[in-house]
Chain A
Amino acid sequence: MNNPLTEKLFELLKQVSGFIYPNEIEVHWGILVVVYPYLTGLVAGAFILASLVKVFNVKEVQPAYRLALLTALAFLLIAPLPLLLHLGHPERSYEIFLNPNFTSAMAMFGFVYAWYLMVVLVLEIWFTYRKDMILWSQKERFLMRWIHKTISLFSKDVSEKGAEFDKKMVRGITIIGIPSAFLLHGYVGFIFGSIKANPWWSSVLMPIVFLFSAIVSGIALVILLYMVITPLRGEKIDIKCVDKMASFLFYAVIVDFSLEMLDFIHRLYESEESIKILGELVMNRLFISLGVIQVLLGMLIPLALMVAIKLFRFDEELRKLLYFVSAILIQLGIFATRWNVVVGGQMFSKSFRGLTVYKMELGGVEGFLMTLVLLILPLVTLAILIKILPPWDSAKADSVEGGPGYQKLATD
């Protein structure tokens, strides 16, 4: 452990410009800690999109409702993985729950996460699918039958009253869920924003910026998944649904962009002590990841595309293409945002006199390959969830209502 690390650090030492405190040569929060807020951001965003349907009655987004919930769950289940891999002693991670330090945002976040997972997301999905699972289990073969029976907690209530109650619970949980989702990703922002030692992180706006970039990335992800999965199922994309989701994406991007602009302008105007080194940081270390990827590719181009769609009535095929491109660019942009916050905040010295570098490895626990695995795993999890809890009516032309291929959704 010692030799490869020290060799790497000797190499990095040569690339330091200016002066850094000697302990700062090791970049402590690397790619794994970049992946983590990216994944939790997608959770919050997907959930907010789902909540638009249930709380604000945006009927057009109904086709993507269950998909959004499952997406949120898939990403929420995988998100703790990069953190566990990053810890020096993951075998002691239970201490966060057993002996939390109540002044630590990180410790309290563990409870927020657990609350969100168990009380909000799992419950909402359960109530949404309960009746369907009972109906499905009546017609299925052994394995799926028992999976559905177990998840539905062996309930047998398929009455109208039961379904009405489920609907009410879903609405209630979603109402609680919206501030919980705000809290979930806002809290991650607070973990960074409350560090007074680091002027790149320390900002009142940090939780808000994190939240809105989460909403942006989550909505974009659901659009992307919907537009990819629907044709794969042989179904037609409901363009009204995508249009509506893209509308909300547009508003979210505007707010997110405004917030980032506000942060930028505010920093420049106040021109505090750290402005010189932060300026050097942006120009020398973060030029591509911030200037090109986060702002240009991730925000300005999607914004321009969506403004164009609103102004000039493009036909459906062109709109679908532009939405798809925008959604992908946004994913890149938000990932770059997380990189710029986490890694960017460690590229300059707290002495404000120097810059260091971060070199991501290819292999190893904190390597590029592991990152790819961690980004693909939620999609794999989503595929499994879709298999267990199908989010759509699979009313195919050749299947008959009541027949084996037909799975009509009971609620909604």
Chain B
Amino acid sequence: MKTIFKRIPDALLRILVVFVVFIAGALLIRYLLPASLKDTAFHVQSTVEREMAKPIRFAGSDVCADCHTEYNTKKGGYHKNLSCETCHGAAKEHAENPTETKPSLPRMREFCSGCHTYNASRPTGFPMINPVAHNPMKQCATCHNPHDPKPPTAPQECQGCHGEIARTKALSPHALLECTTCHTVPKGHKLTPRLVKPSTPSERGFCGKCHSKESTYRGTPKIDIVTHGEKYMCWQCHYPHMPEVE
């Protein structure tokens, strides 16, 4: 043993001692550390528990119905897919202490406008109004029951919900055509718009009634309905609400 030590150069020996001490120290520290500092599974579990224990602020729509049965009318109206808390804000505190905290009661026009102001990016057919022009200064709830919102008068023609299309059409050669000229609107469309849809023309002959060479209407551009546009339907090239040629 001693000969081995003698054969290792002095310098190397000292360095090795330092390294052994260092590594042993590191291993000892690691061994002595409590599990909470080392163990990943422990940390994962404690994080999960901390997450789960975070406070809840929105109660969930089923909770409101326990007390507020009268608002189940919302279930049938246009707002049936909304949670109560969509408009009334976080209500968990109220659900736990009904008399002490009350959820918000948004009566200002700006609130309803948040969803219902006209915005070109909103899907077509979503009811939108111009908040400046539409019954200014009046609270929305005066005419529309927020829990079963129906317009007090049926929207003028189709324009009430399809404003963008109406405005586009108004500037087009088709301005004087009623929507119902081309679309038959079943009664259910105003009640459940996405489920009951108006019809759309299905054959070239429909546009041909005004636009084919054989048509007797005056003032419409005429084409040979048999050859023009080959096999395509008219609206595959020409947007009917703003029909441009070429």
Chains A and B directly touch (beta carbon < 8 Å)? yes
Interface residues, chain A, with chain B CB atoms under 8 Å away: 98-99, 118, 123, 126-127, 130, 153-157, 161-162, 165-166, 169
> Which of chain A's residues have a CB closer than 8 A to the CB of B15?
123, 126, 153
28 interchain pairs (CB within 8 A)?
A98-B30, A98-B37, A98-B38, A99-B38, A99-B40, A99-B43, A123-B15, A126-B15, A127-B11, A130-B11, A153-B14, A153-B15, A153-B17, A153-B18, A154-B14, A155-B10, A155-B14, A156-B10, A157-B9, A161-B9, A162-B10, A162-B11, A165-B9, A165-B11, A165-B12, A166-B11, A169-B11, A169-B12
Interface centre among B10, B33, B38 (most CB of A within 10 A): B10
Q: Complex formed: what's the CA distance from A130 to B40 in Å?
A: 43
Q: Complex formed: what's the CA distance from A98 to B17 in Å?
A: 24
Q: Complex formed: what's the CA distance from A165 to B22 in Å?
A: 23
Q: What's the minimum C-beta distance from B74 to chain A, rounded to whole angstroms?
A: 33
Q: What's the minimum C-beta distance from A123 to chain B, rounded to whole angstroms?
A: 7
> Which of chain B's residues have a CB closer than 8 A to the CB of A161?
9
> Which of chain A's residues have a CB closer than 8 A to the CB of B33?
98
> Which of chain B's residues have a CB closer than 8 A to the CB of A155?
10-11, 14
B40 nearest in chain A by CB position:
A99
B26 nearest in chain A by CB position:
A97
Q: Complex formed: what's the CA distance from A259 to B18 in Å?
A: 42
A163 nearest in chain B by CB position:
B11
Q: Complex formed: what's the CA distance from A153 to B22 in Å?
A: 14
A161 nearest in chain B by CB position:
B9
Contact with A along B21-41 (1 / 0, CB 8 A): 010000000100100011010
> Which of chain A's residues have a CB closer than 8 A to the CB of B38?
98-99
Chain A interface, DSSP helix/strand/loop, else mixed:
helix
Top-6 shortest CB links A-B: A157-B10, A153-B14, A165-B9, A155-B14, A130-B11, A155-B10
> Which of chain B's residues have a CB closer than 8 A to the CB of A162?
9-11
Q: Complex formed: what's the CA distance from A126 to B154 in Å?
A: 92
> Which of chain A's residues have a CB closer than 8 A to the CB of B40?
99
Q: What's the minimum C-beta distance from A174 to chain B, rounded to whole angstroms?
A: 16
Q: What's the minimum C-beta distance from A177 to chain B, rounded to whole angstroms?
A: 15
Beyond A99-B43, A156-B10, A162-B10, 10 extra complex contacts between A and B, CB < 8 Å: A98-B37, A98-B38, A99-B40, A126-B15, A153-B15, A155-B11, A157-B10, A162-B9, A162-B11, A169-B12
> Which of chain A's residues have a CB closer than 8 A to the CB of B9?
157, 161-162, 165
> Which of chain B's residues have a CB closer than 8 A to the CB of A169?
11-12
A157 nearest in chain B by CB position:
B10
Q: Complex formed: what's the CA distance from A133 to B115 in Å?
A: 80
Q: What's the minimum C-beta distance from B115 to chain A, rounded to whole angstroms?
A: 21
Q: Complex formed: what's the CA distance from A156 to B10 in Å?
A: 8
Q: Complex formed: what's the CA distance from A332 to B126 in Å?
A: 59
Q: What's the minimum C-beta distance from A296 to chain B, rounded to whole angstroms?
A: 46
A159 nearest in chain B by CB position:
B10
Q: What's the minimum C-beta distance from B105 to chain A, rounded to whole angstroms?
A: 30
> Which of chain B's residues have a CB closer than 8 A to the CB of A130?
11
Q: What's the minimum C-beta distance from B30 to chain A, rounded to whole angstroms?
A: 7
Q: What's the minimum C-beta distance from B148 to chain A, rounded to whole angstroms?
A: 36
A126 nearest in chain B by CB position:
B15
Q: Complex formed: what's the CA distance from A155 to B13 in Å?
A: 10
B18 nearest in chain A by CB position:
A153
Q: Complex formed: what's the CA distance from A166 to B14 in Å?
A: 13
> Which of chain B's residues have a CB closer than 8 A to the CB of A157?
9-11
Q: What's the minimum C-beta distance from A410 to chain B, rounded to whole angstroms?
A: 13
* CB under 8 Å from chain A, chain B span 137-158: none
Q: Complex formed: what's the CA distance from A126 to B12 in Å?
A: 11
Q: Complex formed: what's the CA distance from A99 to B33 in Å?
A: 12
Q: Complex formed: what's the CA distance from A165 to B13 in Å?
A: 12
Q: Complex formed: what's the CA distance from A130 to B11 in Å?
A: 8
* CB under 8 Å from chain A, chain B span 162-200: none
A131 nearest in chain B by CB position:
B11
> Which of chain A's residues have a CB closer than 8 A to the CB of B37?
98
> Which of chain A's residues have a CB closer than 8 A to the CB of B18?
153
Q: Complex formed: what's the CA distance from A153 to B18 in Å?
A: 9
